Structure 1
Amino acid sequence: MDYISTILVKNGLIVAFLAVGIIIYFSHWFSNSILKNKIPGTAMAIFIGLILSYIGGKITGGNKGIADIKQFTGFELMGGHMFRDFAIVSTAIGVNFAIIKKTGLAGFVAVTIGVFIPFFTGAAIAVFMGYHDAISITTIGAGACSFIVGPVTGTAIGASSDVLAISIASGVVKSIVVTICTPLVAKYIGLNNPQTAMIYGGLMGTTSGTAAGLAATDPKLVPYGAMTATFHTGWGCLLCPSVLYIFIKFIFP
């Protein structure tokens, strides 16, 4: 057992990819065979990942989830900024820029609305939760945009660790909801072509949730929705700690 443990530790990244592959395979099999595609396999895989992360943190008392278990330290690298950014950038492969130009103003409006509506919704929830300082309200509101915008904003304006955790949690919940609901509502909102996929990605944000939901709807739409969802993240990281923070600070001095 010590020999096996040593191999797992020395090949951490390979073990992480293998584990994720097994989880995804099982999730899609369960979704197709048992649930008849009513819940996308990708959504199930994300949910299983969250459970494993919780278990890892509980067992070790650490703060890195499953990566706190030494045999699975490869998840820290796999789930880190480098691979995340690489995955986001890679979604641009296969995009037809002529179609992007056609979306034009509608895409920009969608991205802007997609930042403002969740931000103010999250801000209202923060106030309802008892937060009345501009930093906390802004950070939680930014988290409602995505689990990347939240911590970026909170770090920039000096939010506490518990508020940062809430912002990340709200973004993760949004990602899961978008993943599950996208294929369920696709046919009702005309989500069947690149233009609507781009508008949808701009409105929803959360690149991971949009990409997973579109993958369950039509894989060909993923690059378009993921691209505007990525713009949404960048736009949120720009607006939330600056213009929107100043606005919230004016209301809650």
Structure 2
Amino acid sequence: MITTALDSIIRKDSLIIAFLFVGVVVWFSYLISSKLTFGRIHGSAIAITLGLLLAYFAGLDTGGSKGVADYPLLAGVSIMGGAMFRDFAIIATAFGVDTDDLKKAGLVGASSVIIGVVLSFVVGAVVAVVFGYTDAVSVTTIGAGAATYIVGPVTGAALGASSEVIALSIAAGLVKSVLVMVGTPLFARHIGLDNPQAAMVYGGLMGTTSGVAGGLAATDPKLVPYGAMTATFYTGVGCLLAPSVLFFMVRGLM
């Protein structure tokens, strides 16, 4: 009877179980961030890393292709991690930003967003070509991932990239996020990152919201809102430019 009841709950409420599972992973990640790294590595970066590791080992164990969602108990993760919830989260973030706030950063702040997206994209695209990718879709997706681990999968889904390429784009964005988190407090003094204007420009250039927020939190918590503000716009601009203008440029070149 108990087994039957549990099976019924798993089938009917798989999405609720997925939210519970992800909530536990996020809670544990922020605990690690607080107790082991003293906030220098943001909890979101640790959570993403754990998620990738869990997906990898679940794939080895089950021989499937959906990560932890191949386990019946966690089947709801495939819905929670699908395109619908991902795009909803991105749109919700964009609607939470007041465009008037961007004007406070001036022309320099606005320009930093465009420069940051294009520069990161070019670096990621060049690396993709060096490692043997020659089709425009894959190069664009990996280049977008170098911008942020959100822009990468959004671009890949829009262009029809393979799941392997999308995973690489997420990994590229994750590495960038961790590097920004760790490097920001180390180099902040040398680059004059000690005022709101500099934080907004920095957020526009780096772009990774979690990386910038975590790095600025370790540098000066008062700077976090300013850096996160332009970093949020960076994600939106990347999602607009990568699968459109930048993709057409890459296709034209290749």
Q: TM-score range by the shorter chain?
A: 0.7 to 0.9
SS of 1:174's equivalent in the other structure is helix
Cα distance 1:21–1:245, how it changes in 2: closer, same or farther (>3 A)? Answer: closer
Q: Is the aligned partner of 1:175 residue 2:177?
A: yes
Aligned partner letter, 2:233: F
Unaligned runs of 5+ in 1: none
1:236 aligned residue (235, 238, 242) = 238
Q: Which letter does structure 2 place at the counterpart of 1:177?
A: L
| Post-superposition offset of 1:125 | 0.9
Moved more, 63-72 or 158-167: 158-167
Aligned to 1:106: 108
Q: Tell me the secondary structure at the aligned position of residue 104 of structure 2.
A: helix
Counterparts in 2 of 1:48-59, with a 5 A limit? 48-59=50-61
The 3-state SS of whatever aligns with 1:132 is coil
Residue 180 of structure 1, CA deviation = 4.2
C-alpha distance after superposition, 1:178-204 (max 9, x if no partner): 344445545554555554443233212
Partner of residue 123 from structure 1, selected from 113, 122, 125: 125
Residues 40 and 216 in structure 1, CA contact (< 8 A), matched pair in contact too = no
- Unaligned residue ranges in structure 2 (runs of 5+): none
**Secondary structure in structure 1 of the residue aligned to 2:179:** helix
Residues paired across the two proteins, number: 251
CA contact (8 A) 2:68 2:74 kept: yes
* Residues 6/173 of structure 1: CA separation in 2 closer, same or farther (3 Å cut): farther
Q: CA deviation at 1:227?
A: 3.8
Q: Partner amino acid for 1:120? A: V
The answer to whether the 8 Å contact 1:140/1:150 transfers is: yes
CA contact (8 A) 2:116 2:204 kept: yes
How many angstroms does 1:87 deviate by?
4.5
CA contact (8 A) 1:144 1:167 kept: yes
Contact residue 111 and residue 203 of structure 1 kept, 8 A: yes
Looking at structure 2, the residues matched to 244 and 173 of structure 1 have their Cα atoms a distance apart, in angstroms, of 22
> Once the 2 structures are TM-superposed, how far is the Cα of residue 18 of structure 1 from its aligned partner?
3.1
State the Cα RMSD in Å: 3.5
Native 8 Å contact 1:99 1:195 kept in 2: no
Amino acid of the structure 1 residue aligned with 2:56: Y
C-alpha change, 1:186 and 1:100, in structure 2 (3 Å) is same
> Which string of whole-angstrom CA distances, capped at 9 and with x for unpartnered residues, describes residues 27-57 of structure 1?
3333433444454444323322221222233
CA distance in 1, matches of 2:184, 2:115: 18
Identity of aligned residues (%): 56
- Corresponding residue to 2:148 among 137, 146, 149: 146
Matched position secondary structure for 2:112: helix
2:30 counterpart letter in structure 1: H
Letter in 2 for 1:174: K
Letter in 2 for 1:167: S
Q: Any residues of structure 2 matched to 1:197-236 within 5 Å, and which?
A: 197-214=199-216, 223-236=225-238
TM-score for both structures, normalised by structure 2: 0.75
Counterpart CA distance in 2 for 1:159 and 1:91 is 24
| Cα drift, residue 223 of structure 1 | 4.9
User: Which of 73, 89, 105 is the equivalent residue of 1:71?
Assistant: 73
> Aligned equivalents of 1:34 and 1:159: distance in 2?
37
| Contact preservation (8 Å) 1:143, 1:151 | yes
Query: Residue 92 of structure 1 contacts residue 223 of structure 1 at CA under 8 Å; is this kept in 2?
Result: no
Q: Deviations 1:186-242 (Å, cap 9, x if unpaired)? A: 555455555444323321223444455556666665554444333223322333334
Match of 1:12 in 2: 14
Contact 2:94 2:232 in 1 (8 A): no
The structure 2 residue matched to 1:132, chosen from 134, 148, 168, is 134
| Residues 157-192 of structure 1: per-residue CA shift (max 9 Å, x gap) | 554554344333323332343344445545554555
